[in-house]
């Protein structure tokens, strides 16, 4: 699964690195995720490496539920 994770600049959580997560099939997630959580679930790749998977998930979301995609 491809995601976009952008570090949050919230001052409330200075002790933890939190990220806003965007998914191609569902958009911006309401819950921020900690760096440690992201690091265990995903592997960082450059944008060119993620583009194919992002596009595939985005296109698939037009015709099927994201649960079926998996």
13 vs 63, higher pLDDT:
63
The Cβ of residue 36 has, within 10 Å, a number of other Cβ atoms equal to 10
Structure tokens at 24: 């191609």
* pTM value surpassing 0.85: no
pLDDT tens digits for range 1-59: 899 999 987 666 667 899 999 999 989 999 999 999 999 999 999 989 899 999 998 99
* In the chain, where the domains are located: 4-69
Residue 47, H or E segment: helix 47-60
């Amino acid at each position: 699964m491809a995601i976009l994770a952008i570090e949050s600049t919230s001052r409330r959580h200075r002790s933890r690195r939190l990220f806003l997560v965007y998914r191609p099939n569902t958009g911006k997630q309401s819950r921020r995720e900690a760096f440690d959580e992201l690091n265990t679930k995903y592997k960082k790749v450059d944008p060119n490496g993620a583009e194919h998977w992002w596009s595939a998930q985005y296109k698939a979301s037009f015709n099927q539920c994201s649960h079926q995609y998996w």
